A and B are shown apart, each in its own frame.
Chain A
Amino acid sequence: MNSDGPSSTSGVGGSADLATPRRNSKRPKYSKFTQQELPACKPILTPGWVISSFLLVGIVFIPIGLASLLASRNVVELVDRYETACIPDGFKKDKVKFIQSDSNKTCNRNLRVKKDMKPPIYVYYQLDNFYQNHRRYVKSRSDQQLKSKNKENETDDCKPEATINGKAILPCGLIAWSLFNDTYSFSRSSQKLQVNKKDISWKSDRDHKFGKDVFPKNFQNRTVKGGATLNASIPLNKQEDLIVWMRTAALPTFRKLYGKIEVELKKGDVIQVTLENNYNTYSFNGKKKLVLSTTKWIGGKNDFIGIAYLTVGGLCFLLALSFGIIYFVKPRRLGDPTYLSWNRNPGGGSNN
């Protein structure tokens, strides 16, 4: 940021001494390297460099900020929080009991589209206060078991959900056990909107991490289920909900991709959502939200990057300006020996 281009120090040092005849002795070998005189670039922070670096940052950051902000603003997002709304009135006081009961958990929600949404429209579920990044949770999985058929008994890391009646659970561990099991179906004007649930997970995970010959075994066989059950006849690499779920989220509030709607939604459309409210977040007061969102290059709707870039860029312009004024008002000749400590306060101590 403040380099000066190479200014060689060679030739300044003892080039005269280099000419002295050498003796056959242990005398050190002279080279620019050993004499620490390799050609070097020695940047100094001149006012010019300071101001131009600020300006450069400003010039780069403000357009990026504007573009990001614009992109973020153009993302259309529909969010519906439903975990309370989907509890029948009678169960409002004891939601956990409801969720653990066998009663019908179907719930209907209506979403109004505020702006045109171009496909693909991503359907996410968003959980709050769910610490998928908890250490106990993150570690409770067996990647070997997921990958290869003959490692199905590698369940040591999966405790406390490793075995049932002495038989290995596959997929084992808390993560798989707590697989999200709310389901959504969408319709617009009584016309069903297809949700594409293919390719919602990372391709690398499907291809290399989850075996194509590994099938669920002994999964969710307990009376109290942790979450979704898996179809034991579908290999793991096809169980995309599981694959998505097993990419544990970084933060306690997270979204996971549920599927994609590949038709355009127009402004004013009302989307009817039929959802099965199965997942128990009530025991830890977790929120559940359904999100429909388009994406831009920047990702989902998030103004942070745009605003941050604009702020930093603006700040740098400001700094460039103020430094310019400072240098103009109170210039200091670079390398001016009068600023040396022993010249500034002659006779007095330079320290102490």
Chain B
Amino acid sequence: MSSGEHLLSLSSDSPSPRSPHLDFSNLSSSLEYSSVVFEDNPQANLLVKARELSGDAHLDLSGEHSASPSKSQDLHSTRFRSWDFPMALPPPERKKGLVSWGSDSNLQHSCEYSPMSTSSPPRGSSRTNSVVDQVEIPRVFRKSMQFDDGPSREGNYRSIHINDPAMTNDKYRFRGNEIRTSKYTLINFLPKNLFIQFHRVAYLYFLGIAALNQLPPLAVFGRTASLFPLLFVLLVTAIKDGYEDWRRHRSDLYENNRKGLVLQSGKFLNKKWKDIRAGEVVKVCVDDSIPCDMVLLQTSDPSGIAYIQTMNLDGESNLKTRYARNETISMDFEEGEISGVIRCEQPNRNIYEFMANMELDGQRCSLSQSNIILRGCQLKNTEYAIGVAVYAGQETKAMMNSAASPSKRSRLETYMNRETIWLSIFLIIMCGVVAVGMALWLRRHESQLDRLPYYKKSYSVTGMRPAKLYKYYGIPMETLFSFLSCVIVFQIMIPISLYITMELVRLGQSFFMVNDKHMYYKPTDTWFQCRSLNINEDLGQIRYVFSDKTGTLTENKMEFKRASVYGKNYGTFLAASSTSQDKDIAGPSTASSSGKKRWKLKSDITVDSELMDMLHKDIEQDDRIAAHKFFLALAACNTVIPVHASSTCIESVNDDVIAIDYQGESPDEIALVTAASAYGYTLFERTSGHIVIDVNGEKLRLDVLGMHEFDSVRKRMSVVIKLPNGEVKVLVKAEGLRTLVVAAKDLAGGELDTWQRMYEAASTSLTDRSSKLRQTASFCECSLNLLGATGIEDKLQEGVPETIESLREAGVKVWVLTGDKQDTAISIGLSCKLLTSNMQRIVVNGNSENECLKLLSDAMVKYDVKSTNGRIENLQLSENAETDNHEIPDETKLNDLPYSKVRNDEGSQSTTKAPLALIIDGNSLVYILEKDLESELFDLATACRVVLCCRVAPLQKAGIVDLIKCRTEDLTLAIGDGANDVSMIQMADVGVGICGQEGRQAVMASDFAMGQFRFLKRLLLVHGHWNYQRLAYLVLYNFYRNAVFVLMLFWFMLFTAFSTTNAITDWSSVFYSLIYTSVPTIIVGILDKDLSHKTLFQVPKLYAAGHRNESYNLQLFWITMIDTLWQSLVLFFVPYFTFKVSTIDLYSIGSLWTIAVVILVNLHLAMDIKRWVLLTHCSIWGSILVTYICLVILDSIPVFPNFGTIYHLATWPAYWLCILLIIVLALLPRFIFKAVGQTFRPSDIQIAREAEILRKRRGYVWSKPTEGSADVRN
């Protein structure tokens, strides 16, 4: 694929890629479609893939081949009507039903949206896709809608009196501008911090245990020792919190004490930020941060433009334009009296909307998002800006937005909690055994209790007083107390410390992920980000990847490639010709034609010479005029800001060349403006009131009367301009910005007046402004003259096909969810090798519930997919008895489907054998997700190798993710780059954001963020694998480590008359999981790795180990527990039999057990370590050494009953022999099990590991076991 790799977006790409030209029905249907498609991204990403075939299919609006002689301007309406819609509809209905871009049908849309409209006209027979628009996905999404704070109700507004803070704050007490991000003060730190900390269950458990231990009959541990773990954890956390808060205090202090210029008694004087009040007039100079949310009144720019950088707020680095109202830009603040009232909505979190109006001298004007500058932004390219503070301090949008995204819990942790329940059951059983034993023992010795020298339930009798009981409360109570004491002694059976360990380990793992040089994207200087620390290990078990397309699979870097102007297609040959040639053509032609000045642009556009020539023809021809209008519209109808580079190096050399940098929110718009500039229509200046366009050196000033910005409902934007000659024109860009048709019309007379009235009313309205504006837009965006269409290319990102291929080989299903239309989706699927030509495509394009059901069931019957709920079987008799288990998403089967077989018995069986691809559109999804056809969709979709969802809304994306999440145990990952992916990212088990061109909202919502799609392969196959293996082992090991200790204590209790004596000293018990054995687990959890990244990268199938839950499952848990049981028995009984009848004392045997268990668990870990680095050695052997040192220290304190023990023990040979015997005997079964397992049932990982190590050691050549996994590039 040479040119085919380019993704050309042409609005009306042929549905059949092979057909070189469009016929009218195709054209109209695609246009019809495109005007109403639910665009998933306000910034538009309807990208049409050129197709793999060649660049020969092209847009042909008027059609050289068309029989239509008409070159009339209103070709669209007549044609569309005649081809697509029944003429029989009554006039009003017809009008409603007419679906063409710019028609009134959008009024209908807006009506449906607007709460004011109650009557919805009948749909007629037209395929009204607006259903998609108003879809309400039935499922309740567990996602936090970030911008759900709706606009305030009428009447519930705040009044700001300009430059009159006293009056402003008189009636309502607005917040001052002081901010406080810190949580604590010096006084409330302790109680508040403790309160917050005890929200964690683990701490409550600690607290409960510690509290139990304080009860006199239960004081098993020394009181201090029992409090130690809790205090330790609390202290560490408190220090961490305190430090963080101290830093916040410091930054708050800094922020609050910054100086800003505030109008005070007629002069702008410095004032501390924290003293700024709502209503005050504030002046901000260039590059300054903005101290509060304020309405712009005036800027250094005479037209009232201010450029701001919103990096701190939303992470977008491009400059945004804000406008001061014309009414205020000429005010003289330092001299004259200014008064006015701003009524604005109550403070809310929505940084993308602002509704207010301003009353100046009885005149009312509207204020919107474009008139407000927000705290946290920076003023750029503008000398100064003056505004009035409307929201201050905590009420600023920036402060109200500082909320964290919801945390997720990993699958492994969920499983772990299940096993924790088992451990709790063990704990209860053990405690129960001890308690029952205690009860029986007490009952048997009830009469002796007072005589037993070791029990003595009462005080000795002196005199005649009756014996007073000492800590004896009767058998039932003693049983209960015995149970509770047991809980205290066995408390570490519930591995609370594991949660802390896991956090540390994940932190370490994240460090390595972030620092992985293979996941660093140099062009944008983006490195990997771990935004969530809870789900590292989920990356190793992902089964489904849901990918956005634009900006995720593609670069989202737009380049203008083609245009169709007045029915003629330009730019086709460019695709075929080499680039160097293009430049030759482009270079001189621009230079020669542009006359006096040349604009230096950042990107080079290849210019179609034919089109260029036509533009410079002097003849007044229709096509010449259309082309002129076309480029004028491209240059004018947008929100792009031209920034004149002030760097003088170019200017000094050549005054003729002025560098212009276009800044805009959408890459598409920039591409179009750049293109227009290349053709000589350079957008030179933009203010709120006018646009200056340099047309071949001649400056053309256009007054902007109104602008209807792009929104995802209308899917178009329009601008009403007044030409110098007084003509008023509406310029419209419709259906997204990329696949796009450009149209214009004159606006005059009554229509103009009506529009102006509507526009004025709508734009000053405080309520429902958007719907009113939409109505206004629909009013003027109709009966337009078609000028042409544009094609913009968006290239596939590097390595996308390879990544998808590897992921698929790894058993991960990649689903693409895109807002694009079907053809585009299919073409992109083909070019990124998601779809292959040998696949059977199932296309589901239903318009009703029944149709969808039929399509689904037909497909299921045809391809023999088993249904889980049997509805399909009831509907249609299954013809084929052969039950192929298609419903299981089995990666191996899908991957290894023998294609040869398909070819062999083609014709007969190919339908059931070929891999399936499901292509479904958003419209059908509405019915399916809404109408309970989910299970059918699920059955079919999981049987398919590829699923492409096109024309899906953001919420539908989340709906599809949820469909899989609800119906399978499999883990899902969603990857996307735009705001439209946020819901999907939050819904999926793992959300990955791409730091791309479309802002950072996806990144903000994501758990992991990275620069390119291809890093996903490394993230999953390498880091995911490692993280999963490590953490899975860590969890099992921690269970074992704690359980073996507890079990050992348990056996001993059976030999202490069921009293809860702990042979191990209090401090050793506490230190066991805190000091003696904690470090190696963490080190191993962070550093151990089974396979090198190269092997994992080369053999994606190894990833399936995570799918099979190979490293952590219930079976492994039970094996581990049996092993634990054996080891604990060895631990207890070897010393028991050795010192059965001897002089050994309690603390000596306790000391022996302590050291034995520590060495044992450390060696157990050592046995499983796959990769020994220096740090591992240090931690393992160091831990044993540290344990000895601790024992020596503890045994050197005379006041402890265990004083001197270790010194004596060390002189006994039996002690050392005992330890050696324990270690060998305890580990023997495990070792045998391992050896046998590795010999007879080697896991894939084991084989790969052997191959990897042996190959390295003796130059062993390991023939790669798989064929198509060659991509090592990164």
Q: Which residues of A contact B (CB under 8 A)?
A: 1, 3-4, 7, 9, 12-14, 17, 23, 25-30, 34-36, 38-45, 47, 50, 53, 57, 61, 64, 68, 96, 124, 126, 130-138, 141, 143-144, 147, 159-161, 164-165, 174, 177-178, 202, 204-205, 208-209, 222-224, 226-227, 247-257, 280, 283-284, 297-300, 302, 304-305, 308-309, 312, 315-316, 319, 323, 326-327, 332, 334-337, 339-343, 346-352
Contacts and interface: CB of A to CB of B under 8 A. Distances in A.
A164 B463 CA distance: 11
A35 B1200 CA distance: 48
B1200 A143 contact: yes
B1101 interface: yes
B123 interface: no
A64 B893 contact: no
A283 B462 CA distance: 21
A256 to B, nearest CB: 6
B896 interface: yes
B1255 A335 contact: yes
B460 A143 contact: no
Contacts of B1201: 138, 141, 143
A70 to B, nearest CB: 13
Contacts of B332: none
B459 interface: yes
B1231 interface: yes
A199 B1262 CA distance: 69
Contact of A347 (B470, B896, B1199): B896
Interface of A is mostly: loop
A305 B1218 contact: yes
Interface centre among B511, B896, B1175 (most CB of A within 10 A): B896
Contact of B893 (A124, A132, A339, A349): A349
Contacts of A300: 1141-1142
Contact of A248 (B1060, B1136, B1145, B1240): B1145
Interface string B1213-1252: 1100110110011001001101100111010100111111
Give the 5 A-B CB pairs with smallest separation, nearest first. A335-B1251, A204-B1204, A178-B453, A335-B1250, A160-B470
Given A161-B460, A340-B1247, A205 B1204 contact: yes
B1253 interface: yes
A143 B1144 CA distance: 20
A26 B525 contact: yes
Contacts of B522: 23, 27
B527 interface: yes
Given A7-B1256, A34-B512, A45-B1234, A178 B525 contact: no
Interface stretch (B513-521, B641-649, B834-842): B513-521
B452 to A, nearest CB: 5
A340 B1144 contact: no
Contact of A335 (B453, B1138, B1139, B1247): B1247
A263 B439 CA distance: 49
B1204 A327 contact: no
A44 B1172 CA distance: 11
Contact of B1265 (A50, A143, A342): A342
B1092 interface: yes
Contacts of B1234: 45
Interface stretch (B700-708, B870-878, B1051-1059): B1051-1059
A3 B1172 contact: yes
B1104 A133 contact: no
Contact of A204 (B525, B888, B1207, B1228): B1207
Contacts of B896: 342, 346-347
Interface string B1176-1208: 000000000000000000000011110110011
B1221 A308 contact: yes
B909 interface: no
A335 B1231 CA distance: 20
Given A23-B525, A45-B1238, A160-B470, 20 more contacts: A12-B1092, A13-B1093, A17-B518, A41-B1172, A131-B454, A160-B456, A204-B1204, A222-B462, A248-B1145, A251-B1055, A257-B1143, A280-B451, A283-B452, A298-B1217, A302-B1142, A332-B1240, A337-B1263, A343-B1265, A347-B898, A351-B890
24 contacts: A7-B1256, A23-B522, A34-B511, A34-B516, A40-B1172, A42-B1253, A45-B1234, A133-B1061, A134-B1056, A134-B1061, A135-B1059, A136-B454, A160-B458, A164-B462, A177-B453, A249-B1145, A252-B1056, A304-B1140, A334-B1251, A336-B1247, A342-B896, A346-B896, A349-B892, A351-B890
A189 B1207 CA distance: 41
Given A44-B1253, A204-B1204, A254-B1141, A61 B1224 contact: yes
A284 B516 contact: no
B456 A136 contact: yes
Interface in B1115-1157: 1134, 1136-1150
A38 B1057 contact: no
Contacts of A161: 456, 460
Contacts of B1256: 7, 9, 12
B143 interface: no
A327 B1061 CA distance: 49
A250 B1149 CA distance: 7
Contacts of A256: 1143
A1 B1212 CA distance: 26
A247 B1205 CA distance: 10
B1104 A283 contact: no
A316 B1247 CA distance: 26
Given A64-B1217, A133-B1063, A222-B462, A247 B1145 contact: yes
B525 A348 contact: no
Interface in B1054-1080: 1055-1057, 1059-1061, 1063
Contact of B1140 (A205, A253, A332): A253
A253 B892 CA distance: 62
Contact of B1170 (A42, A209, A346): A42
A297 B1213 contact: yes
A14 B630 CA distance: 51
B1089 interface: yes
Nearest to B1217: A305
Contact of B1249 (A44, A126, A284): A44
Contacts of B1056: 131, 133-135, 252
B1101 A342 contact: yes
B459 A160 contact: yes
A1 B1232 CA distance: 13
A36 B1217 contact: no
Interface in B590-610: none
Given A43-B1172, A141-B1201, A249-B1144, A340 B471 contact: no
Given A42-B1170, A312-B1225, A341 B1059 contact: no
A305 B1214 contact: yes
B1087 interface: yes
B525 A138 contact: no
A247 B1257 CA distance: 57
A141 B1104 CA distance: 60
Interface string B645-686: 000000000000000000000000000000000000000000
A227 B452 CA distance: 12
A335 B1094 contact: no
Given A34-B512, A284-B448, A299-B1214, A138 B1242 contact: no
Given A7-B1257, A30-B517, A327 B462 contact: no
Contacts of B1213: 297-299
Contacts of A343: 1265
Given A251-B1055, A299-B1142, A352-B890, A35 B515 contact: yes
Contacts of A223: 461
Given A43-B1172, A249-B1146, A284-B452, A337 B1251 contact: yes
B892 A348 contact: yes
Contact of B1141 (A96, A255, A335): A255
Interface string B943-969: 000000000000000000000000000
